[in-house]
Each structure stands twice: as structure tokens, then as C-alpha cells.
Amino acid sequence: MTPDPLLTEIADYVCSSDSFSQEAYRTARLCLMDSLGCAMMSLDFPQCTKLLGPVAPGASMEMGARVPGTPFELDPVQAAFNIGAMIRWLDYNDTWLAAEWGHPSDNFGAILAVADYLARRGQALTVRDVLAAAIQAYEIQGVLALRNPFNRVGLDHVLLVRIASTAVATRMLGGTHQHVIHAVSNAFLDGGALRTYRHHPNTGSRKSWAAGDATARGVRHALMALAGEMGYPRALTAPKWGFHAVVLGGRAIELERPLGSYVMENVLFKVSFPAEFHAQTAVECAIALHARVRDRLDDISHIVIETQESAVRIIDKIGPLRNPADRDHCLQYMVAVPLIHGTLTAEHYEDAAAADPRIDALRDKMRIVEAPRYSADYLDPAKRSIANAVQVFFKDGSCTDRVEIEYPIGHHRRRKESVPLLESKFRGAVGARFPADRATAIFQCFAQGDPLDNLAIDELMRMFVP
């Protein structure tokens, strides 16, 4: 039976020889650096660390895949869960926004776990091999997101992490074109996780480990395919029972463009603060207004936030916020904190910081307004802006300037400006986790180009063993 065209196109892509742009490789180095930095930062949060380690106590694996920043050596499936959850935990890793959105660096869970597992068994793999796999995973996830809004039918974007991780993990493990088709077909048959855990009244910490779960599932599908498990060639298009019919109501998945390196070249970084990406420019606006309002908080009558339709739908929240996962997906909260403090950190989402009564007082004064131009420019392929504007009005009739920012610091259009800040973010993350000499060596390793690419992946992973 001839496989569904999308399965074949994904398999063709991951099994082809690498021919990616230098810009894609340069950006992939930044993505790897930033992802490992985010993983190191997550280790300061007990809600994350309690989930790490083997799936059951004592179920470690001698010479298994290492989990950076921890002593764990695990089978590659569980290592992928660990690494993916760490990278994603603080909502600080890179992002992709389109009809669907997500975090392509979630796939590093599978990529690093599989690469280290293979390297420790004698396979010669370099950082450049990891970067090539990342470019492919980013592309699969991101291009699938361009025209296919799975969120509109209630599915979470980690569905695309599972598809991308399955494809690249199967190829990394030595799978053939047919193995990739088998594995990816099974990944589609899993259906999709519901977005329930991202939205009121159920917002919770699962949104921080769901990507780890998805990338680990990708490794599992890859290993099963290589063990000879069958695939399902019409997993997508089968009448009545296929993915299109059951999950998408008959709508077919479309690829807006051929698979190449577009997504890696245009990925969005969270550079300065861990905030849901639709709010990134709003946070920048609030920081710019901090000096004008910090001594007049009680004099504020109302605050107007103009934003895109996606932000209104996803992160416009009123009422009680029950946990950090609730707060870091609340536009009003993410604006209130920097208006008060002039910055926004992961610690500001914790209960102690949220107890500050000034935050909810400001939230109650906020008006969220969709700006049609922002919504249109968000979807325009030539722009892909993520615009917000913030203006504060006082009881005496005066007001601040209306501060508008269309492209956040991590946007491709501001890449030159963001790279030094990404490096500073990484330096701080590894400096807080390792002794000074080790942290310096790690940072210097990433400051290089070709030498980093040629480094054996097990050497890089060894640098992150405590």
C-alpha cells in the first residue's frame, strides 16, 4: 500500500543528505546553547527536579544517556523525557508562532538523549550531527505549524514535537526510509494531547513536562520501528478512522512550503524573560514604562494593552491565578510585574512573589483590546510580527506615552541585537550550576564555531556532568 504523501515527504526529508545554510547552522548553535542553559535553570525548581531520574526508583542504565546537570544515566526514552522537561520547564526556551505555535527546542530531548546513547556505544557523533538533526526537527515541527491550527480543535502543540522527534530519532538510530514512515505513522496514531492543562480552570504544571513526554514518545516510536514493529501507511487519510477524519473533522494537514531550514533560520528566542511569547513585546513595553509608573501605582486609573487575537484567546486571564503555570500564561500578570519591578524572572511566578497585592490591583485595572492590524501582521508571512502596545492612564487625567513594540528582542529581525544577550543568559545559567572554571570552559566551547561543531557529542555531554 502506498503511504500517505505526508509520511513519505517527512521520510524523504530526514533521510536526505544535509545541505543546510550556514545561517541555519549558526542559529542551531545558539538554539543548542540556549536549550542547555534553560535546562540548567530548571534545576533550581523542585517542581521540576522531583520528576527527573528513572521512571521507577533504581531503574538507571549503566552507560546510558546522561541528563545534563544531574548524575542520571538513563535509557534514551526516559532521558529524553528528563531533558525535554528541563528545557521546557520555565517557558524560557525558543518559540515558533504561526497558525499553530510551539517550542522547537523541545526536540532536543530526543536528539541529545539518542546522540549520547549512541556515542557511548561507540558511534562517532559530533555536535554538528546534533545540529543537523535539530534543523530537521525544527523544520518538521515548524512547517507543520504554519497552516495547521491544531489548537483550534483543542489539541496541544506538543503533538508536533512527537512527530518531529519520532522522525529524527528514527533516522539517528539508523532507521531506513521505511522505518521512518512506520514510526511517524504510529506517532500520528497517538492522536494529540488536549490543551486542557494550559487553560483556566485547569492550568497546571503538565504544560511544563508535556513536551518532555512528547519527545520521549518519539524515541519510543523510533526504537519500536527499528525492532520491526509495523507501520500504518494510511494513518492520516483512512476514511472514518484516519487522523484527518477523527482528529481534524476531515480537514487534511497541509505543508505551506517544502521542508528545508526555514524554521531554524527564523526561530524566535526568549532572550530576557520567561514569558509566553505572545506577551514578550508587552513585557518589553512594561519595562520601558516602569520608571514612569513605579512611584505612581496607586494613582493609576486604568491600563490599556493592545494585542493580537492569539494573545486575547490564549493569555487574557482575569480572576485568581492558582500556580506558576497559570501566571506565566496570563498577559495581565506578565505586564503588571515589570511595571512594578522593571523586570520579569521565573521567580516572579512563584507563590511568594505572587502574594504582592500590587500585582492583582494592577491586573484589575487592565483593559485588553485586540488590534486588528496586530492580528493581521501576526499571520502575514512577510511580517510575522508579535506586536503589543501598553499605555497607562492616571486618575488626574494624565497618561504615559503609548509604547508600542512590534518585534520582540528574540525575533529574527533583531537577531544581531539578541545574540550577546543570549550568550549572557547562558553564561549566567551555567555559572550558577558549575564551578567557575567549568562554567568558563563550557561558555568558551560555545563561543567557537567550527571547533564546537567538530566536538564529539559525548565530550560535550560530559562537560555537563556535575
Model pLDDT, residue 152: 84
Per-residue cell: 1 = 500500500
CATH class name, domain 277-408: alpha beta
Where do the H-state alpha helices sit in 18-126?
Answer: 22-42, 46-49, 76-88, 108-119
Helix (H) or strand (E) holding 181: helix 177-189
Domain ranges of the chain: 5-266, 277-408
Superfamily of domain 5-266: 2-methylcitrate dehydratase PrpD (1.10.4100.10)
Cβ–Cβ under 8 Å, residues 108 and 216: no
Q: Express each pLDDT in 151-191 by its tens digit.
A: 888 899 999 999 999 999 999 999 999 999 999 999 999 99
Helix (H) or strand (E) holding 221: helix 206-226
User: Residue 295: exposed, middle, or buried by beta-carbon count in 10 A (0-12, 13-18, 19+)?
Assistant: exposed
> 209 near 89, Cβ under 8 Å?
yes
Q: Which residues contact 93 (CB under 8 A, 6 or more apart)?
A: 34, 35, 38, 87, 103, 105, 106, 270
Please list the rounded mean pLDDT of every run of 10 residues in the chain (466 residues).
96 91 96 98 97 94 96 98 97 88 95 98 96 98 92 91 98 98 98 90 93 98 98 97 94 93 95 91 97 97 97 93 93 98 96 97 98 94 92 98 95 92 96 96 88 95 96
Interstrand relation of 366-370 and 73-74 (parallel, antiparallel or unpaired): unpaired
In the chain, count H helices and then E strands: 22, 8
Q: What is the pLDDT of residue 450?
A: 77
Please give the pLDDT value at position 194. 93
Name the one residue in this structure whose C-alpha cell is 497607562. Answer: 392
211: CB partners within 8 A, 6+ apart: 84, 85, 87, 88, 103, 106, 109, 158, 161
pLDDT score for 332: 98
What's the pLDDT at 101? Answer: 79
Q: What is the rounded average pLDDT for all residues in the chain?
A: 95
H or E stretch at 358: helix 357-363
Which class for 1: exposed (0-12), middle (13-18), buried (19 or more C-beta within 10 A)? Answer: exposed
Per-residue pLDDT, 446: 92
**Helix axes 177-189 and 158-172, enclosed angle (nearest 10):** 160
Containing 442, the helix (H) or strand (E) segment is: helix 436-446
pLDDT of residue 199: 86
- How does DSSP classify residue 17? P
